[in-house]
Amino acid sequence: MIAAIFGGLISGTGTGIVIRNRGSLGGTDIISLLIIYMVVRTMELSKLREVVHKVDPGAFMSIIDTREVEGKGFSVEEVL
């Protein structure tokens, strides 16, 4: 399932991903939590949602409006 998520996200959006594997305390259980961080353009957001929900309909997603991005793959003009 994890390989399907990564493959779908990368091919579906054309952007890279950052992955963090952390533990999370839920009630009395400690569970493994995989956090995927991506920066995508607004026009790619619907495709991202489609890919995520196809692989994991119960996935938790937080959408944050980003004002500035630095690094390979983005320029200031593209984000604004």
What is each CA distance from 62 to 14, 27, 28, 38, 53, in whole angstroms?
Answer: 20, 21, 24, 11, 13
Grouping H, G, I as helix, E, B as strand and the rest as coil, residue 23 is strand
Mean pLDDT of 12-24: 61
Number of domains in the chain: 1
Cβ proximity of 69 and 39 under 8 Å? yes
Digit-coded pLDDT (tens) for 25-79: 566 666 666 777 777 788 888 888 888 888 788 888 888 888 877 777 665 554 4
| Spatial CB neighbours of 41, under 8 Å, sequence gap ≥ 6 | 78, 79
Structure tokens of 72? 């390979």
Cβ proximity of 50 and 8 under 8 Å? no
Q: What's the domain range around 59?
A: 2-79
In this predicted structure, what is the pLDDT of residue 7?
72
